[in-house]
Amino acid sequence: MAAVETLPPTGVEAPNLTYKQVPETAYDREFRQPSLLHSFGSDSADLQFCRCKLTFFARLPVEWAELATLDLSTFDQPGGKEALAKQLEAAIQSVGFFYIVNFGLSQEEVDRQFAIGKSVFELPMPEKLTYRADLEHGGYNGYKPLGLREVTPGITDNTEIYNIPKFIPAHAERPHPAVITANRPEIEHFARHIHDHIVGKLLVLFALILELPEDALTAHHRYDELSDCHLRYMKYHHRSAADNAKLDNVWVKGHTDFGSLTLLFRQPVAALQVRGSDGGWRWVKPLDGSITVNVADALQFLTNGFLKSSIHRVVAPPPDQAHIDRLGVLYFLRPEDALELRPVQSAVLARLGYDANDDEAAVGITAGEWVKARVKGNIGKDGKRLPVTASEQEVIKGKSAKYYD
């Protein structure tokens, strides 16, 4: 595989996003992009890497969000989960984003998921379209092609997505590309580990924060029950400087996620920003050996607004990274489909006044209904491109999704 071309940095200026010139001497970090040596997999399928140089993030002239880092290796130590819950409670009072480290997956296991995802997106378009998700009816498992949403007049989205649902009987007959079926055992191991050994622990921490029994939230996020949890491969195609200028460098407007938690395995490419309580946008640094986690809609509903669904957006990377197609591996945790999104009974919520009304909940709406309505809201009828939307859009039964500049 040919090496990725490294382009010289160029200054780009736009409202809210000003990139200064990066000196050539700052190019001192290698970016290793994993690929499968042979896409259709066998037990001996190896990784190969293409390399390009990137700037050390410490030298980029941008403002980084200050996020807490939770070390999950301390969870089972005496007093470990209680200490982590206190750390998490402090973290979620600010931006609702945090990092986790020592989560039980090796870097090679993570790299292989990036490589499998990359192989999926390298398939011919006609083949990918045979696995197209039923987006028009609120389905999202399978392939989402480029260009279904107009982000500004004349410019459409630059994302490809492939979603893999939970490995349960309800999805056993779903077809997948050969590269996924050939590597199913390790994909399933990866997804189940995230669900059982990472988000399972995080849900315990949230239960402790709410002064609930430890299993209060995990009881509504069981792997073997019907829910919209899924593993996602995602590709952001790089844009031209001209298109970035028309977009003010914003690729995806500020938004919240549909479920309970989103876990993002990241490349060393800066593109994610989080909105602070002051309304300002700050960059989320890709931290080596970590997962970036954010709180999503369902936890906000279940706590009547005590936990805030994190507002975030995707922007054009800094100039020295602008030529790179940005890959992501994500896990979306969502409650069981049948769960009504009404507030839990919590002494903490009562003490702080979050039980006074249900304004921030979604009473009468199930988790499955919320997800399907939000998916349908992101695509036009009959698969046609959806025009630029207003800043607020009703989703279902009077509940709205908001978008932020």
What pLDDT digit, counting tens, does each position of 165-206 carry?
999 999 999 999 999 999 999 999 999 999 999 999 999 999
Average pLDDT value for residue range 35-52:
51
Average pLDDT value for residue range 345-356:
94
CA distance 217 to 219: 5
pLDDT at residue 37, rounded to an integer: 57
Torsion of CA 225, 301, 98, 351, to 10 degrees: -120
What residue segments make up the domains of the chain, in order of their start? 59-402
Q: Is the pLDDT of residue 384 over 50?
A: yes
Global pTM exceeds 0.85: yes
Query: Per-residue confidence at 36, pLDDT binned at 50, 70, 90?
Result: low
Query: Per-residue confidence at 382, pLDDT binned at 50, 70, 90?
Result: low
- Which DSSP symbol is given to 197? I
pLDDT at residue 363, rounded to an integer: 85
Average pLDDT of every residue of the chain? 85
Identify which of 239, 305, 296, 297 has the alpha carbon closest to the alpha carbon of residue 264: 296
Residue 128 CB neighbour total at 10 angstroms: 19
Q: Is the pLDDT of residue 335 over 70?
A: yes
Question: Is the distance from CB of 289 to CB of 76 less than 8 angstroms?
Answer: no
pLDDT at residue 44, rounded to an integer: 39
CATH number of 59-402: 2.60.120.330
Q: Which helix (H) or strand (E) covers residue 245, if one does?
A: helix 241-246
Q: Is the pLDDT of residue 390 over 80?
A: no
Amino acid, res. 217: L
CA distance 263 to 139: 20
pLDDT, greater one: 299 or 43:
299
- 113, burial (CB in 10 Å: exposed 0-12, middle 13-18, buried 19+): buried
